[in-house]
Amino acid sequence: MLPLPDLDELIAASHVVILPMRVRFRGIMSREMVLLNGPSGWSEFSPFTEYDDAESARWLAAAIEAGWEGFPEPRRALIPVNATVPAVPAVRVPEILASFDTTVAVKVKVAEPGQTLDDDVARVGAVRAALPAAAIRVDANGGWSVDEAVHALTRLADFGLEYAEQPVPDIAALAAVRRTLAARRVPVLIAADESVRKETDPLAVARAGAADLIIVKVAPLRGVRRALEIVAAAGLPAVVSSALDSSVGIRAGVALAAALPELPYACGLGTVSLFEADVVHDPLIASEGHIAVRDVAPEPDLLERYALSGQRRSWWLDRLRRSYAVLAAEARV
C-alpha cells in the first residue's frame, strides 16, 4: 500500500474548480472537483456532494494513487467508449448524440424520478432509430423494484439491449431479476454497478450469481490497482465506467481499461462530451469511437478561469481533510 503523502502536501497540490455542463446529469448542471498536482501526474478528487466521509475517502485513495504512484503499464493503446444519453426527452436524443464522435455503443439513462416507462421507451427508441447498428445498454441506477425491472426490461428488450446496468438497488434483487428474465427467456444481460462500488464487499455480487458482468469505476474502488484485483477475483467480464469526471479523472479510467487483460465491451468513459468546458484544451474524448491512452495536464489558464473561491473552495478543502483523516485512521489499524 502506498504511504500517504503529508496532508499539507495534498493541500498545497490542490486546485478547486467548477466545470459547466451541456445538459443536466444526476440533477446537476455543473461539476465541482479538486485537481491534485502530484509527483507522478495530475489526479482528481470529486466524490459527489451527498457522499459521506468514508465513501469520499475511497475517492481520495484513488487520487493519491494516480498522482503519487502513477498507473500500471497499459496492455492496449486505444479504448473503445460508449456515448451517454441522460434522461432527456426523446426529441433531444439527436442533439446529445451529435456531441459524440463515431458511436458504436450508447448508454441510456432510464428510471429517472418523475419520469415514466413510456419516457424510457421513447428515449431508447430514439437512440435505436438514430443508430440502428449500435450496441445499446440502459442504466437505471437501482431505480426500479424487481417487478418494475422485469416489466421494463421485457419492453426495452425489443430494442436489442446489450445489457441493463443496476436495474434494482441491491444484490438479492439483482439476482431475482436475472433469474426471472432467464426463466421468461428475455435476452437481457444484467450488469452490477452500485452493487460493486458501494458494497463493503465488492465481490459479493459475483458470489451471489446476481450479474452477468460488472461495472468498475476507479475512484470508488480506491484506485486502478484495487479495481484490477476486484475484476480478477470476480471472474466476470468488466466494463470500465466513469463518474462524470474531467479529462484528469477520465485518465484514471482509461488507465484501468488499458491495463485489464480483456476488454469485451465499450467503456463508459465518454462523459467529457457532456461538459461545456474542461481543464485541458485537448480533452480526453473519443475519436472514431476510441480514446487514445495518453497523459493529460490541466492548462493554467483554464484552472484560473474555472477556479472556485470563497466558501465553496473552503468546503472542498475541508472535505479533503476529513477524507484524509479516514485514510490515516485506516493506515494505523
The whole-model pTM stands at 0.92
User: What is the domain-level CATH number for residue 324?
Assistant: 3.30.390.10
Looking at the predicted structure, is the pLDDT value of residue 277 above 80?
Answer: yes
Looking at the predicted structure, is the pLDDT value of residue 26 above 80?
Answer: no
Looking at the predicted structure, is the pLDDT value of residue 25 above 90?
Answer: no
User: Taking the CB of residue 294, how many other CB atoms lie within 10 A of it?
Assistant: 10
Looking at the predicted structure, is the pLDDT value of residue 148 above 90?
Answer: yes
Plot region of 142 (φ>0 → left; ψ -120 to 50 → alpha; else → beta)? left
> How many structural domains are present in the chain?
2
Domain contains 306: yes
Question: Distance from CA of residue 284 to its chain's centroid?
Answer: 14
- Asked if 55 and 90 sit in the same domain, the reply is no
Q: Count H helices, E strands: the chain?
A: 12, 12
Domain contains 2: no
| Mean pLDDT in residue range 225-242 | 95
- Asked if 88 and 16 sit in the same domain, the reply is no
- Asked if 94 and 35 sit in the same domain, the reply is no
The annotation places the binding site at 139, 165, 193
Exposed e or buried b per residue across 309-328, where buried means at least 16 C-beta atoms within 10 angstroms of its C-beta? eeeebeebbebbeebbebbe
Would strands 41-45 and 83-85 be described as parallel, antiparallel, or unpaired? unpaired
The annotation places the binding site for Mg(2+) at 139, 165, 193
Domain contains 271: yes
User: What is the domain-level CATH number for residue 121?
Assistant: 3.20.20.120
- Asked if 284 and 315 sit in the same domain, the reply is no
Domain contains 14: yes
| Mean pLDDT in residue range 72-76 | 98
How far is 333 from 323, CA to CA, in rounded Å? 16
- Asked if 55 and 157 sit in the same domain, the reply is no
Query: What residue numbers bound the domain in which 215 lies?
Result: 78-292
Tell me the sheet residues that pair with 80: 290
How far is 36 from 40, CA to CA, in rounded Å? 11
Q: Indicate the helix (H) or strand (E) that contains 324.
A: helix 310-332
Domain contains 87: yes
- Asked if 267 and 128 sit in the same domain, the reply is yes
Domain contains 308: yes
Q: Give the percent of the chain with pLDDT over 70.
A: 99
Looking at the predicted structure, is the pLDDT value of residue 171 above 80?
Answer: yes
206 phi and psi angles, rounded to 5 deg: -70, -45
| Mean pLDDT in residue range 290-310 | 97
Q: Which of 107, 109, 137, 319 is catalytic?
A: 109
Residue 149 DSSP SS3: helix
Looking at the predicted structure, is the pLDDT value of residue 242 above 80?
Answer: yes
- Express each pLDDT in 83-107 by its tens digit: 889 999 999 999 999 888 777 899 9
Query: For residue 9, what pLDDT is reported?
Result: 97
- Asked if 273 and 175 sit in the same domain, the reply is yes
Query: For residue 236, what pLDDT is reported?
Result: 95
- Asked if 125 and 230 sit in the same domain, the reply is yes
- Asked if 229 and 314 sit in the same domain, the reply is no
- Asked if 314 and 182 sit in the same domain, the reply is no
With contact defined as beta carbons under 8 Å apart, do 231 and 238 qualify? yes
131-134: which pairs have CB atoms within 8 A and are 24 or more residues apart?
131/97, 131/103, 131/106, 134/103, 134/104, 134/105, 134/106
- Name the average pLDDT for the chain: 94
Sheet strands side by side (includes 238-240): 83-85, 105-109, 135-139, 161-165, 189-192, 213-216, 238-240
Give 2-26 as a DSSP string.
PPPPPHHHHHHTEEEEEEEEEEEET
Domain contains 236: yes
Query: For residue 1, what pLDDT is reported?
Result: 61
- Dig out the grid coordinates for 285 from the structure: 474524448
Chain length of the chain: 333
Annotation marks residue 107 as catalytic? no
| Mean pLDDT in residue range 133-141 | 96
Query: For residue 197, what pLDDT is reported?
Result: 79
- Asked if 25 and 67 sit in the same domain, the reply is yes
With contact defined as beta carbons under 8 Å apart, do 302 and 281 qualify? yes
Q: Which of 197, 217, 222, 313 is catalytic?
A: 217
Residue 204: CB partners within 8 Å, gap ≥ 6? 171, 195
Give 82-98 as a DSSP string.
-EEE-S--GGGHHHHHH
- Express each pLDDT in 181-206 by its tens digit: 999 999 999 999 988 877 678 889 99
Residue 241: CB partners within 8 Å, gap ≥ 6? 193, 215, 216, 217, 253, 267, 268, 269
Residue 116: CB partners within 8 Å, gap ≥ 6? none
Annotation marks residue 109 as catalytic? yes
Domain contains 1: no
How far is 291 from 185, CA to CA, in rounded Å? 35
Query: For residue 226, what pLDDT is reported?
Result: 95
- Asked if 54 and 160 sit in the same domain, the reply is no
Would strands 189-192 and 105-109 be described as parallel, antiparallel, or unpaired? unpaired
